[in-house]
Amino acid sequence: MADPTGKKENAIWPMPKFYFKVSWGSATISFSEVSGLDTEAQIIEYRHGDSPVHLPIKMPGIQKVSNVTMKRGVFVGDNKFFDWFSQIKLNTITKGREKVTIQLLNETGKPTMIWELNNAWPTKITSTDMKSDGNEAAIDTIEIAYETLIIKNKNNP
């Protein structure tokens, strides 16, 4: 967004999305992609029978969050995804649910936006595909369910 005074040094620009950090529990893990940071309010529609308006009233209902998908490279001896996933039993996570924090960083490495996923646990792991003629890095994908999303917008000059 350009500065109304026309001065270039006062211009405000959107944050780039390529510099971010993800941590869960005490571990910081490098990912190449994070997606699915969605939240929405479900709609309750209601219309009483003697309403002169022939349209329903729309009200906000229960809030809902999407699962978050994260992708990262495969590294020898690194089984963090699978270790966490192996803690899941029917209706129980023996290790416990984790708080996953995703931080969008500025050019100095300070967080500007923070997404906190509370009571998170892995629902799906997709291992890399393999091609004999491929020239890409091996990538694993983890899908995480969580209960609440807290978004913090920091002002770090």
The answer to whether residue 45 is domain-embedded is no
Total residue length of the chain: 157
pLDDT for the residue numbered 157: 46
Q: Does 44 map to a domain? A: no
> Other C-beta atoms within 10 Å of 146: how many?
20
Instruction: Tell me what the mean pLDDT of segment 145-157 comes to.
Output: 82
Q: What percent of the chain has pLDDT over 70?
A: 90
- Tell me which residue range forms the domain holding 97: 16-38+66-153
* Count of domains observed in the chain: 1
Which pTM was predicted? 0.81
Average pLDDT rounded to a whole number, residues 9-35? 86
Which of 17, 30, 22 minimizes the C-alpha distance to 102? 22
The pLDDT value recorded for residue 31 is 93
- Work out the pLDDT band at 9, boundaries 50, 70, 90: low
7 lies in some domain: no
Chain-centroid distance of CA 63 in Å reads 16
C-alpha span between 89 and 86 (Å, rounded): 8
90 alpha-carbon distance from chain centroid: 25
CB proximity list for 85: less than 8 A, separation 6 or greater: 122, 125, 142
How confident is the model over 84-132, as pLDDT tens digits?
Answer: 888 887 777 767 789 999 999 998 999 999 999 999 999 999 999 999 9
Nearest to 124 by CA among 101, 99, 141: 141
Q: What is the pLDDT of residue 156?
A: 47
Q: Does residue 28 lie within any of the structural domains?
A: yes
CATH number, position 79: 2.30.110.20
